[in-house]
A and B are shown apart, each in its own frame.
Chain A
């Protein structure tokens, strides 16, 4: 079963490459087909991973879930016909998946206290929040780069999309952290676990995005500054809440 989980994820990552080639060549149908197949394989890998450890929660599964959710957000943006955002989110989804493949936190053992609905909800919601934050970071970074090279100002519609992604991420992050706190209280009797390698990073990200949302209210803040803040947020999310769940560099075996 571990081999199946690995092979499905690996196949998904491999299929991203023909999708990139098709995108560069301008073959839209081929690009879409390869990308959809890749996302389906990554999705299957995540489902089998969860099933393999059920009712316990698989430790360090979050990078795989984040890879999947970033890909799903890309599909959502494609459905909205937002071509420019799709490019940025698509690049992010490929990069995050390849990174997860190369630096796997492949630990399949778990501990009995993860047998809690709160634990599963915490993992899924916080992964979804991190995916939304990372997408907003990639989008704003892309807009900054494109804007700098083309000399055009960042459009208001792009800012609204970034802000909405951040609002959705912030709401999911808050509710996810509450589920985490409830799990911690039910299992250990205290809503904070200081053993957790993620706790302070997740709290830091929550306050950073509170800062970002309050920045909108402060007035007289340039769009470029807001984009810079959103880009910085994406980088901080990667460093403090994604990297701790990944492992050391391990070149993937082609098929186990």
Chain B
């Protein structure tokens, strides 16, 4: 076996993955303790980009942030390990495609679907924290226009409506506005576009997402003249990757969990997964060079 091949198998081995996963868990638990001691250091990560945070809060508080630097390194190694492991094993499974039913194939592929989704999620997080536009406290009153950050597009708030809850048993919720809906008009050169945004329902325009962060009036009986909505405006390429990762991971989980929890793969009679697994194991025994495990 060549040196490169040996290195590839070592980097993509399950044993290495086990150590990396344990390291990641330990670092996150350490981070949880550090965050509880001084939460103020980590809250700016909601608005700052990763490298800006590392340069400022990260380097200024090494006693509380050292674990974060290590975590990035370990996650990078875990990404490499997952990529190699998934690529090698998926290729092996696809090589055996003529020996199994479609269900067995999907079941055997399901962990690798989750691994693939994990890689997409990690990439999504990285893109999310390294590039994009975050703009906070864009307080707007109806009829007033403002520029969308980082562009010539102007936006205007129109028709804001608020929804109180009619709660008979909880006095603190009575007449409280629990939802807000508004129309946002975008002026882009000669073009005008309208979108509807609401609480927990952002609107999207040209890769920008507009989120309702806060609003007034809070109660149905407040002064109706003092109407404003505070928007958070973001532009981020990481979100589509992140959503794709979520969907693919969930599909992988469902494909894996359904037969495992209904014991179909253990019986062998109702589901061919186990028989296929035996074939796969025999195949791996015949080709020990493909197996990264000792």
Query: Which residues of A come within 8 Å of B, CB atoms?
Result: 1, 51-53, 55-56, 108-109, 112-113, 115-116, 118, 164, 167-168, 171, 174-175, 178, 181-183, 185-195, 197, 200-201, 203-205, 207-208, 210-211, 214-215, 217-219, 236, 240, 244
B213 at the A/B interface (Cβ < 8 Å)?
Answer: yes
Give chain A residues whose Cβ lies under 8 Å from the Cβ of B187.
none
Task: Say whether B179 contacts A189, CB under 8 Å.
Answer: no
If A109-B172, A171-B253, A188-B46 touch, whether A218 touches B15 (CB-CB below 8 Å) is: yes
Residues of A within 8 A of B17 (CB): 214
Most buried by B among A192, A200, A208: A200
Q: Main SS of chain A's interface residues?
A: helix
Which residues of B lie under 8 Å from residue A164 when comparing CB positions? 260-261
A135 to B44, CA, bound (A): 36
CA distance A211 to B28 in the complex (A): 13
Q: Which residues of A contact B18 (CB under 8 A)?
A: 211, 214-215, 218
Query: B99 on the interface (CB 8 Å rule)?
Result: no
Number of A-B contacts (CB under 8 A): 139
* Residues on B with beta carbons closer than 8 Å to the beta carbon of A207: 21, 24-25, 28
Q: A167 touching B260 by the CB < 8 A rule? A: yes
Interface string of B182-208 (1 = CB under 8 A from A): 000000000000000001111000000
A1 — which chain B residues lie within 8 A by C-beta? 169-170
Q: Tell me, in angstroms, the Cα distance from A118 to B233 when the chains sit together.
A: 21
If A174-B253, A211-B22 touch, does A188 touch B211 (CB 8 Å cutoff)? yes
| Chain A residues closer than 8 Å to B24, beta-carbon distance | 207
Separation of A90 and B44 alpha carbons in the complex (Å): 43
A200 touches B32 (CB 8 A): yes
C-alpha spacing A167/B202, complex, angstroms: 34
Beyond A53-B170, A181-B246, 9 additional contacts (C-beta under 8 Å) are A1-B170, A55-B165, A115-B178, A164-B261, A190-B46, A192-B46, A207-B28, A211-B25, A236-B29
Nearest CB on A from B185, distance (A): 20
Residues of chain A lying within 8 A (CB to CB) of residue B271: none
Distance in angstroms from A157 CB to nearest chain B CB is: 11
With A and B bound together, what is the CA distance between A53 and B28 in angstroms?
32
Q: Considering the complex of A and B, which 10 residue pairs feature the smallest CB-CB distances, nearest first?
A: A204-B28, A211-B21, A200-B32, A208-B25, A207-B25, A116-B200, A189-B234, A189-B211, A204-B29, A207-B24
A-B contact pairs, 30 of them (CB 8 A): A51-B169, A53-B170, A55-B178, A112-B179, A115-B178, A118-B200, A164-B260, A171-B257, A174-B253, A178-B249, A182-B246, A183-B200, A186-B202, A187-B200, A187-B211, A189-B211, A189-B232, A190-B234, A191-B242, A193-B46, A194-B35, A197-B39, A200-B29, A200-B31, A203-B28, A204-B31, A211-B25, A217-B14, A218-B293, A236-B29
- Closest A residue to B202 by CB, please name it: A186
Task: Point out the residues of chain B lying under 8 angstroms from A116, CB to CB.
Answer: 200
> B209–A201 contact, CB under 8 A?
no
A50 and B170 alpha carbons, distance in the complex (Å): 11
Cβ of B128 under 8 Å from chain A? yes
Pairwise interchain contact A175-B232, C-beta atoms closer than 8 A = no
- Given the known A-B contacts A115-B199, A203-B28, A214-B21, are A174 and B261 also in contact in the complex, defined by CB atoms under 8 Å? no
Chain B residues whose CB sits within 8 angstroms of the CB of A193 once the complex forms: 46
Partner of A168, one of B179, B233, B261: B261
Q: Residues of B at under 8 Å CB distance from A?
A: 14-15, 17-18, 21-22, 24-26, 28-29, 31-32, 35-36, 39, 42-46, 125, 128, 134, 165, 169-170, 172-173, 176-179, 199-202, 209, 211, 213, 232-234, 239, 242, 246, 249-250, 253, 256-257, 260-261, 293
A114 to chain B, nearest CB (A): 9
A190→B50 CA distance, assembly (Å) = 13
Q: How far is the CB of A192 from chain B (nearest CB, A)?
A: 8
CA distance A204 to B75 in the complex (A): 13
Selected contact of A201 from candidates B22, B29, B257, CB within 8 Å:
B29
Give, as a whole number of angstroms, the nearest-CB distance from B292 to chain A: 11
**Which residues of A sit under 8 angstroms from B173, Cβ to Cβ?**
53, 56
- Whether A112 pairs with B177 at a CB distance below 8 angstroms is yes
CB atoms of A218 and B14 under 8 A apart: yes
Q: How far is the CB of B234 from chain A (nearest CB, A)?
A: 4
Contact check, A219 vs B293: say whether CB atoms are below 8 A apart.
yes
For B21, list chain A residues within 8 Å (CB). Answer: 207-208, 210-211, 214
| Residues of chain B within 8 A of A53, CB atoms compared | 170, 173
Interface contact A181-B202, CB-CB below 8 Å: no
Contact: A185 with B239, CB < 8 Å?
yes
In contact, A186 and B14 (Cβ under 8 angstroms): no
Question: How long is the Cα–Cα vector from A186 to B204 in the complex, in angstroms?
Answer: 11
